[in-house]
Amino acid sequence: MTDDAIAAAFAPHDHQQCVHRALDEAAVRLKDQGARLTPVRRRTLEILLESHRAMGAYEVLDRLAAEGFGRQPPVAYRALEFLVQHGLAHRLQRLNAFAACLHPGDDHHPVFLICRSCDKVAEAPFTPIRDALSAVAREGGFHVERATVEALGLCAACAETEGQAPC
């Protein structure tokens, strides 16, 4: 998860290939783990991958229902939870939403950078922040186990066009 990867998430790129690669990698990882990438699960991942945005569970559900899958909340929540559990997607607390993981494979718990203009989400390395956080907490006698770090701001692409229409 390099700095380039952050920029790449917001910049225009060969998205077909980006999606394809992610799906392939997902299939491989799941096979290794003995987990099944069923049609609903696969389609859910595809839907998340289509944009680099975070999507609410009900937004995903509408898409699934329109394509002939079940139309009740558990359908979406189960698929999303499965993806999160297997490191293929993340949950964004701040938005009550989910986003496909852009770096499955890296065993990670990232920091999220959310652009308030284009709504896209990037993942940044957690380590430097965790170090700062742990240090501050430890001095107060607190032991950090898990942390949520979600930043709202402006991506490079949107900063350039600020004032104009969103990218």
Partner DNA sequence: GGCGGCGTCGTTACTATATTACATTTCGGT
Partner DNA sequence: ACCGAAATGTAATATAGTAACGACGCCGCC
- The distance of closest approach from Cβ of residue 120 to a copy of itself in the complex, given in angstroms and rounded to an integer, is 10
108 contact, one of DNA, Zn ion, a copy of itself, none, CB 5-8 Å limit per kind: none
- Please report where in the chains the tokens 């718990």 appear, as a residue: 109
CB of 164 to a copy of itself, least distance (A): 17
* Residues 126, 82: Cα–Cα separation, whole Å: 23
Question: Rule CB under 7 A: is residue 84 a binding residue for DNA?
Answer: no
Q: Which does 14 bind (CB under 5 to 8 A by kind): Zn ion, DNA, a copy of itself, none?
A: none
Where is 128: in which H helix or E strand? helix 127-139
Q: What is the 3-state secondary structure (H, E, C) of 33-85?
A: HCCCCCHHHHHHHHHHHHCCECECHHHHHHHHHHCCCCCCHHHHHHHHHHHHH
17 binds, among a copy of itself, Zn ion, DNA, none (CB under 5 to 8 A by kind): none
Binding residues for DNA (CB under 7 A): 35-36, 38-41, 56-59, 69-75, 77-79, 82, 96
